[in-house]
Each structure stands twice: as structure tokens, then as C-alpha cells.
Amino acid sequence: MAIEVDYRFTPTIDAHKQAKVIAIGQTVGTWDARFAHREASLTSHKSEVVSVFKEPDNYSIATIRFPEANVENDVSSLLTMIFGKYSMAGTAKVIAVRLPENYGLRPKFGISGIRELLNVRERPLIMAIFKPALGLSAIDHAAILKEVAFAGLDIIKDDEILGNLPSCQTLERLKACREVLDTVKQQTGRTVLYAVNVTGNAAQLLQRARELVSHGANALLLNVFSYGFSVLEALVSDPEVNVPIFTHPAGAGALCAAPDYGFAYSVSLGTLMAYAGADAVLYPAHYGNLPFDANQEAQIRDTLRARNTMPVPSAGIHPGVVSKAISDYGQDVILNAGTGIMDHPDGAASGVKAFFEALEYAQKGESLSLDSLPDGALKSAIQKWGVWVDK
């Protein structure tokens, strides 16, 4: 099997020439008569320019096919091959990567496994983020968790900025929150997942992940673009880390936001995450508070689901976008809200309640008109954040 990559070049670039440069320079390079006896071996590692075509805007798309034998069935060697030194050679953007079905890793839990852990089968899942991000104690986190967990929340996560800080060490935070999770389970029968942010250098991070799981962590959060895809793959492959791994997009903009350089978001947050084994992937929704392209979002969603990875649209999610989210995603989605839950005018528990009320309205196909909404959590949320309207 082969690996195919689509590169997009600006109108000023000779796409045919540059495609050949990539095909040769990112694989075997050139050779002369001294290596004639290695001709067959060298040729087997050489990539091939499959096609080059021009788009209506005069940008060009070149497709290059790389031998799978050139990489190590992981994301890191793949990135080095398809866009290593060439990433510094000028304008070019990787807009698609097609990998063999058996390449890389699959999630240990994914959509089906997360649903099984939560025993929630047929509705979107609701997730919150601890806020404020920094400055809270472990006891503060536990108090927040108690409020939202008893209100019906499915999942909560650390803010990606919060690491193993002296003011709120990761293990102490987990221990305080674990007591709440156990109480919720005993009193309601419900499981709530807490995705603990795992940090440190590579060796520390892996050891810390094992320690957290041994102390009751039932999910982990990883900033993949900060710590690396190889760290994600190590966590996925570790038999001691037998909990879902949620990945955060922090840093993705540095690789993806420039229009003519780097990677498409659909590649970095879709293809690479899915083939590195992430169980659930956070990324901006186009109706959130970060500028994001709806087509890229849809590609990420579809790529993740094809590998049983749960999509988690984020960044500015509030009850007023629930109907739109269900229209875009159906049931297999985690709706992830920070301020959309924690900054509810009547408190975080009401923020959770507002999401579940919005789910009921969306499933019935009813509109969220302020004139018809009864007083309560949902109406207060809509008064504060409004309702998403397609532009």
C-alpha cells in the first residue's frame, strides 16, 4: 500500500517542478553510477508524482504517492517524510493525507467505548471545562465538579493551560475530584469522566499518566502539538494507560492558520489525530468564538468518525448553538463548553441544565424563542448568549 499526499501551491509556483522536488528530495534523493547495483532498492523507496492540476483560482494541487516502506507506521516519521525539510522551502500547504486503513493506531475507546463507560447511548454528550483556568485549589476544583456532576454533566476536563503547578498539583487535584466522582456514582449510579491534563517531559509525562490512572483517573487530556504525536502514540500504546485520551488543539494554529503554508486543519486535527489513536479530539466549531472554516470542521468530523474517534467541537459552545450542532453532527458528538456552562447567570449547575433543556428542544425540532421559553436555566442562557443563526 502507498501513502498519498495533496500539496497546494500558489499561482507563482511551478507546481510540476516543485512536486518532483518533493518526490525526490523527501525520499531517496539522487544517485549516480556508484550505486547502480542498488538501483532496484533505491527505486523502491522513491515516491511518484501522481497528478498536478490547476484550480480556477490558479492555485495548483499536486498529488504525490509515497511508499509505505519509507515510514515506521507512526505519525512522526510520516510528518518527516511528507513535509520535513521541504516545509522550509517556500509556499506549499499539505491539504490532504490518505493513509492505508491499517496505518498507525486506533483508539482504545473512541465513540463506542466512551459511550459504554458513561452508559449513554443515544444522545450527544455534554462536557465542561474547569474555569477559571488558573488560580484555583484542588478543593475549588472538587466543589465545581460536585455542582456540575450532580446536575447531570457527562464529562469535565482541565483547562489545557493548567499543568502540574505547585499551587494545584495534578495528583492532588485528581484525588479531590475522585472523591466527588465516587460520590456521584454511589448516589446516582452515573459515571462522570474527568479528563486530567497530563504534562511534563516525555519520560515524566508517561510516568505521570500511569500514576494518575493508578490513582483513579478515568480520562486524560493531552496537548498534542506541545508534547508531540509520539507522546500521544506512547500513551495510546501503554497497557497501563487504559482510559480515554482527549486531545487539545492548542498550537494547531501555528501549523495550520497561514493560507499558503503548513497543514490544513483537516489534516492535523483530523487525519493525524485519528491515526495516532486519539479517543476524542477537541477543535473549534465554526459557530464558536474562534474563526474556523465550516468545510474544514466537517472534514475533521468525518475523518475522526471513520476511525471511531469522537469529535468534540469547542470554543464558544453555549446552549444557543445546540440545535445547530445536532444538525451538523447528529448524536455522536461531545459538546464542550467552558464559559457556556460555568458563566451561566444562575451558576454552573444551571449551565448544565440549560444544555440538557436545549437538547430536548432540538430533538423535538422546537425553536428557542425568548417569547415562548418558560423562565428557567435555558431562557437565562439564551438571554445571555443568544441563538446561532446561519449566516
- pLDDT per residue as tens digits for the range 110-150: 999 999 999 999 999 999 999 998 999 999 999 999 999 99
Query: What's the pLDDT at 35?
Result: 62
Q: How confident is the model at residue 46 (pLDDT cuts 50, 70, 90)?
A: confident
Query: For residues 220 and 124, what is the distance between their CA atoms, to the nearest angstrom?
Result: 20
Q: Cβ(168)–Cβ(137) under 8 Å?
A: yes
C-alpha cell at 253: 494554529
Query: What's the pLDDT at 47?
Result: 83
CATH class label, 2-98: alpha beta
Domains of the chain, residue spans? 2-98, 110-385
Q: What are phi and psi of 271, to 5 degrees?
A: -60, -50
Q: What are phi and psi of 33, to 5 degrees?
A: -60, -25
Is 379 considered catalytic here? no
Mean pLDDT, residues 226-237 taken together: 98
CATH class label, 110-385: alpha beta
C-alpha cell at 331: 448524536
Query: For residues 113 and 102, what is the distance between their CA atoms, to the nearest angstrom?
Result: 20
Annotated catalytic residue: which of 20, 85, 108, 353? 85
Query: For residues 142 and 179, what is the distance between their CA atoms, to the nearest angstrom?
Result: 8
- The pLDDT of residue 28 is above 80: no
Q: Cβ(306)–Cβ(342) under 8 Å?
A: no
